[in-house]
Amino acid sequence: MPHNVLMPALSPTMTEGKLAKWVKKEGDKVKAGDVIAEIETDKATMEVEAVDEGILAKIVVPAGTDGVKVNSLIAQLLEEGEDASALGKADAAPAVSATVTPANQPTAEASKPAPTMAVATPAQVKASGRVFASPLAKRIAKEKGIDLSTVKGSGPHGRIVKSDLDRAPAGASAPKAAAQGPSTFTPAASSVNAQALADAYGIPYTLTPNSGVRKVIARRLSESKQTVPHFYLTVDCELDALLALRKQLNDSMDGLKISVNDFIIKATAVALEKFPGANVSWTDDNIVQYTRADVSVAVATPNGLITPIIVNAANKSLKVISSEMKDLGVRAREGKLKPQEFQGGTISVSNLGMFGISQFSAIINPPQAAILAVGAGQERVVVKNGQMAVANVMTVTASFDHRAIDGAVGAEYLQVFKKLIENPMGLLL
């Protein structure tokens, strides 16, 4: 009897994903535990293991298909000796989210739509009464009095483009605006479609389809800024004692090198344990008070930002934090993190110091209520005992959710954090 392979739910919130790659091909023998495919979720690319043995007889969903719904059929296995006639009918398309490109949202004339994106055909456009033309072509047609319904398009999927109008006779009555659909380019509008703007002014461009990760980042950060009342506090921390201790520790170790960021992760967590009022989250009914400090660390990847977690960071040594962070960083950039390694956390750290950024403000990562934005350590002139001196100084700006954390609470937390950074021996205890 054939075994159906269904789209797995790789995280509690996953409803669909992209079937990024088939590791096995049709006809291959499969054993339980073999990796047969790679699935791209909203945060990572994860391997799918077979739970049955047999032959991969039919791949229903091809590699590269986006928006495959959880529990939809993606492949079928046959047991040894079974004939292909035993396969059930799997011709029905899986539940896949498709994006139709209407006439008022054009693509670049020289670019092709992504292979997984359904694009409206000229026949569909005619049936709906719309003209399939770029905004620039529509504007030129209106100026020259050209009836677009009489023009044959040479662009992708029959779209009428500017060059088609060079060959069209002028003077004919242009169709009414209602037949063309709504205008796509309104300079006075508060939000102008960037693609339409580029078309209208002839600005060359290419299109890069948004990855699942990028869409999630856009949605979550938009929700955060719109629904979470942020407030910001900034503190300067002197690093000279920390840099000296770091050098001493690294000189005594073989191979593993502790970074400044490892100290920051540790200090972030220890400060939460010393001042738990900032280790909270907001819900409509309760303040969630965490009893453990788990630090999410922002890592840039080719697909976008992801935040692997150092669990219980306050009770781990700098050496362990350094080792875990290196491993998590590598696997984050490869898209190989497990859901529990990047979902959760009680506070976040975003460090752009390595890029020379001296100060910035970060957006809170809900449901957390705080994030630290860490700038570069720089030599600055400071005043000590009434005298000017030079010190390495790092600026840290904390973003807090004002529903859960008041200004004074945030200030006291940063005060504890600053003391730990400037007296780092306390992080070794």
Q: Is 230 a catalytic residue?
A: no
What's the one-letter identity of residue 230?
H
Q: How far apart are CA 146 and CA 140, in angstroms?
A: 8
Q: How far apart are CA 48 and CA 39, in angstroms?
A: 7
Catalytic entry in 3, 157, 230, 402 = 402
Which phi and psi angles does 231 have, rounded to 5°?
A: -135, 155
Residue 238 and residue 417 in contact, taking contact as beta carbons nearer than 8 Å: no
Which phi and psi angles does 151 have, rounded to 5°?
A: -100, 135
What's the one-letter identity of residue 325?
M
Q: How many CB atoms lie within 10 A of CB 5?
A: 23
Cβ partners under 8 Å of residue 32, min gap 6:
49, 50, 51, 52, 53
Residue 69 and residue 7 in contact, taking contact as beta carbons nearer than 8 Å: yes
Residue 133 and residue 153 in contact, taking contact as beta carbons nearer than 8 Å: yes
Q: Which residues are catalytic?
A: 402
